[in-house]
Amino acid sequence: EAESCPVPEADNYELVPQDPFGEQVLDLFKAAAIFILPFAGPIIAFAVWPLLLRLVHSVLGEEKSLLELTQMTLNPTTNGIVVACLATALGTLTSVTVWTLRQRQLDVRANLNKEACDLNLLRMALAVNIGPTGQASDAVTDPCIYVQVLALLRQYAARVVLETSKRADARRLERQDVGNSELAGIIQAISTCGASRDIRQDIVQHVGNLNGTRSARLAQLSTAFPLIHWVILALLASSIALCFLIEVDQSEGRFFSERPEDSVRLRLVWAILVGTFSGLAALCADLSDPFRGSFNIVRTTDQFFVMQNKIDRELEAVLFETNPSLTRGDVERFLKAADDGTGSVDYGEFASMLEQHVGAGVDGPANKRVGADMQGARDSGGSGSKNSGNVGNAAATA
């Protein structure tokens, strides 16, 4: 069953926090692990080589005619068939894994840039068509509707920041209802404000572009390699390492000059093999998280913080013109109060709350202006009657 993805709580309608202390510690730990693993792996392998080889020999045990078996059967079979198959499978899967993870990061970055452009175009279209200073010939200058769509647009930008931050949960993104976002509330507001058909079609086109880009981005973020993929890679690498250990294991005087556990050359070759696997593991671990490590796209989301600031300033200006006592924090509380308890917002209830408060601020100055005009008309009428009476008295005296 699909779940909703509510926007995180923020005090005073602030920006969504990106790097709390816990996330910084996790970033530092993962970066240290990624950079240390390629060096720690071969160093540990070089150090434990004698112990590891004695362990392998104790497990395999003594075997008669091992030298003849190694030269006639074991080496040709292991090197020509087993290791070749393992290396081909490991190389192919590793290449596909690295390319897929890197391509996913590039695709998410491209979709974020496109989403930022579409979001800015939607903001400009709303300002032109329904803003207080709308320049379109058929613009609908309704401050209440404009405050509503600005608040929803701002919350959508916060949603994008949350979905593309280090706090994003891929499993939750996969389960959520993709169509349940603030964009649906914007469409509903435009449909009920009496806008013309051209305006509605223009807004719907921009919203459709945003929905398509967001759907592609969420699909890329929530689609990752399953656990069995990493298990297979680990088993292939372990199998190649085990074949190496089996081949260098000796008995019956196979090595005449020195024992394999005392050979520096064999230790170096073993360290190089383990270092290769450790480096590939660190690279895959780095690429698997798009928002941590050396390969990350965190800075791509900075443009949405700039977009949030622009919307905040525009929303403050509209609120100051319509109802100076109303703040952005009040609008945020109205939006959270319209939550039905499942993370979905009742946009009709949110519109009603804004109508009560923003509409009161609009009607107040208008009523004052009407009252002043009526008082001026009464004053003018009274002065006219008084002047008429004076003229009549002067005529009677004459």
Q: Please give the pLDDT value at position 67.
A: 57
Check whether 394 has a pLDDT greater than 50. no
Task: Write phi, then psi, for 391 (nearest 5 degrees).
Answer: -65, -40
| Three-state DSSP class for residue 91 | helix
- Mean of per-residue pLDDT scores for the chain: 77
Q: Which of 18-22, 145-149, 250-254, 304-308 has the lowest mean pLDDT?
A: 250-254
Contact of 48 with 284, CB cutoff 8 Å: no
Q: What is the mean pLDDT of residues 51-68?
A: 73
Q: Please give the pLDDT value at position 79.
A: 78
Q: Please give the pLDDT value at position 302.
A: 87
Q: What is the mean pLDDT of residues 126-137?
A: 72
Q: Please give the pLDDT value at position 395.
A: 35
Q: Please give the pLDDT value at position 329.
A: 83
Q: Please give the pLDDT value at position 396.
A: 36
Q: Please give the pLDDT value at position 343.
A: 64
Please choose, from the candidates 208, 171, 168, 203, the residue with its C-alpha nearest in 3D space to the C-alpha of residue 189: 203
Check whether 326 has a pLDDT greater than 50. yes
More confident residue, 57 or 55: 55
Contact of 361 with 322, CB cutoff 8 Å: yes
Q: Please give the pLDDT value at position 95.
A: 95
Cβ neighbours of residue 355 under 8 Å, at least 6 residues apart?
144
Please choose, from the candidates 217, 212, 211, the residue with its C-alpha nearest in 3D space to the C-alpha of residue 107: 217
Q: Within a 10 A sphere around the Cβ of 55, how many other Cβ atoms? A: 12
Q: What is the mean pLDDT of residues 188-193?
A: 82
Check whether 278 has a pLDDT greater than 90. yes
Contact of 3 with 175, CB cutoff 8 Å: yes
Binning pLDDT at 50, 70 and 90, where does residue 341 land? low
What is the per-residue DSSP string for 7-65? PPP-GGGPPPP---HHHHHHHHHHHHHHHHHHHHHHHHHHHSHHHHHHHHHHHH---TT
How many CA atoms within 13 Å lie on the side-chain side of 365? 9
Please choose, from the candidates 352, 15, 7, 17, the residue with its C-alpha nearest in 3D space to the C-alpha of residue 182: 7
More confident residue, 359 or 338: 338
Task: Write phi, then psi, for 59 (nearest 5 degrees).
Answer: -75, -45
Q: Please give the pLDDT value at position 299.
A: 85
Distance in angstroms (rounded) separating the CA atoms of residues 323 and 157: 24
Check whether 160 has a pLDDT greater than 80. yes
What is the per-residue DSSP string for 142-191? -HHHHHHHHHHHHHHHHHHHHHTSTT--HHHHHHB-TT-SHHHHHHHHHH
Q: Give me the percent of the chain exceeding a pLDDT of 90.
A: 24
Instruction: Tell me the pLDDT tens digit for each residue of 236-262.
Output: 999 999 988 888 875 444 444 556 667
